[in-house]
Structure 1
Amino acid sequence: MAELEFWFDFASPYSYLAAETVEAAAADTGVAVIWRPFLLGPIFSEQGWSDSPFNLYPARGRYLWLDLKRETTRHGIPWQRPARFPFNSALATKTASWVEPGPALSRFCQAVFRAGFAERRDPATRAVIETCLRQAGLDHAPLERALADGGGDRCRDDVGAARDRGIFGAPSFVVAGELYWGNERMAAALERAWAVSR
């Protein structure tokens, strides 16, 4: 079966859009989605950014919130501007790294995104992550592993894997080693995944 790697940071608004639409779009083309949460902050730091570019460039930030309102309305996706942007996505990402790949991981990731971008809850808090795990049908074991000594090792490895693929923003899609950046490139990435599987 064709595969699409979906790389995202939980604090990325456009990744939220992708997370809400990628599974249905992939199913239409017979493509399996591999969910790959990672921390974008270290990669931004390497680019010389100390904050989200949507905060560093005010005009870009104003456009973001207008565009997100339009796009979520167009797709029928629930949306509320986060109380803090960007929220700290480290705990959610570390926890996700301890969830086995598969449906439970996608459910957990979607729950985290909805907490941050539809419910104005802070995914940096333990209580929110515990709720998201329950919503995904999981116990607290991934969170406990994330909080233990060495619990961030997998997360650091995932940042390295993103770097190796040339990823510089989120969401990004990788098909057979080829990078597609941005939610608007999802359709092209899915077409490519379908083509290489033939």
Structure 2
Amino acid sequence: MPGPVLEFWYDFASTYSYLAAMRIEAAAEEAGVKVHWRPFLLGPIFAAQGWTTSPFNLFPDKGRYMWRDMEREAARLGVPFCRPDPFPQNSLLAARVALVGLDQGWTPAFTKAVFAAEFGKSRNISDPAALSIVLTDLGLDAGAVMEQAQAEANKARLRRIGEEAQLRGIFGAPCFVAEDRELFWGNDRLERALDWATARARHSDVPV
């Protein structure tokens, strides 16, 4: 029987999505859970709530806490961290590129490399040149991938994924969604989501 599956919904502009992306593969492998990577955009979801930017910008106290928390958590996990400028980054092109990789198997590697460039080296991920470097470093044809990413069919695909996210009640990132549609929000809920996914899988295997 196939093992449990957990969807990982993330936005490249999201600070806590960075932390989750850098550790989800090892945590999921240990738990025996397969990860489905689901890049999407928070911008339309925030706009539907009347927000024009990240809530970490809209609410200064929350923002100050987040930046300090990110410093602590990045140090604990042993990953580099710096504040990107501007914040949030425009993650549209990165999300489109990541969708291309879903069909070719390199989305996880691309995602981690983009997050590392953005939050580890303060690279501007809205710059096509920055993403091209990531793709080239992964041994991919950056020009061909960029062309696929900007194709109308791929743009429409990203819009549909955004609509799906809203319909499913996803309001932030990262989010982890189990096969029974149970939703967990936040990097600190990753382990709880994995536990839920494995418990539900064991329950479904019980004869009735």
Q: Common fold, TM-score beyond 0.5?
A: yes
Equivalent position amino acid for 1:166 in 2: G
Q: Match of 2:206?
A: none
Runs of 4+ deviating beyond 6 Å: none
What SS does structure 2 have at the residue aligned with 1:35? strand
Q: Match of 1:82?
A: 84
Q: Match of 1:22?
A: 24
Equivalent position amino acid for 2:13 in 1: A
- What is the root-mean-square deviation of aligned Cα atoms in Å? 1.3
1:56, distance to aligned residue in structure 2 (A): 0.1
**1:161 correspondence with 2:164:** yes
1:147, distance to aligned residue in structure 2 (A): 2.2
What SS does structure 1 have at the residue aligned with 2:38? strand
Q: Match of 2:64?
A: 62
Deviations 1:35-82 (A, max 9, x none): 100000000111111110000000111111110000000110111111
Work out the CA distance in 2 between the residues paired with 1:174 and 1:36. Answer: 10
**1:97 correspondence with 2:99:** yes
1:24, distance to aligned residue in structure 2 (A): 0.8
Work out the CA distance in 1 between the residues paired with 2:139 and 2:32. Answer: 26
| TM-score (normalizing by structure 1) | 0.95
Deviations 1:77-121 (A, max 9, x none): 111111210010001011111113475110001111111100111
Q: Match of 1:188?
A: 192
Number of paired residues? Answer: 198
Work out the CA distance in 1 between the residues paired with 2:6 and 2:160. Answer: 20
Gaps in structure 2 of 5+ consecutive residues: 203-208
Equivalent position amino acid for 1:152 in 2: K
The one of 150, 162, 170 aligned to 1:147: 150
Gaps in structure 1 of 5+ consecutive residues: none
Q: Match of 2:110?
A: 108
Equivalent position amino acid for 2:40 in 1: F
Work out the CA distance in 2 between the residues paired with 1:40 and 1:74. Answer: 27
Out of 92-101 and 40-49, give the one that drifted further: 92-101
| TM-score (normalizing by structure 2) | 0.91
Work out the CA distance in 1 between the residues paired with 2:182 and 2:145. Answer: 31
Equivalent position amino acid for 1:116 in 2: E
Equivalent position amino acid for 1:24 in 2: A
The one of 11, 14, 18 aligned to 2:13: 11
Deviations 1:158-197 (A, max 9, x none): 1012112210000000002111111111111000111122
What SS does structure 2 have at the residue aligned with 1:193? helix
Work out the CA distance in 2 between the residues paired with 1:79 and 1:101. Answer: 30
Determine which structure has more spread, i.e. the larger CA radius of gyration.
Answer: 2
Out of 149-158 and 96-105, give the one that drifted further: 96-105
Q: Match of 1:132?
A: 134
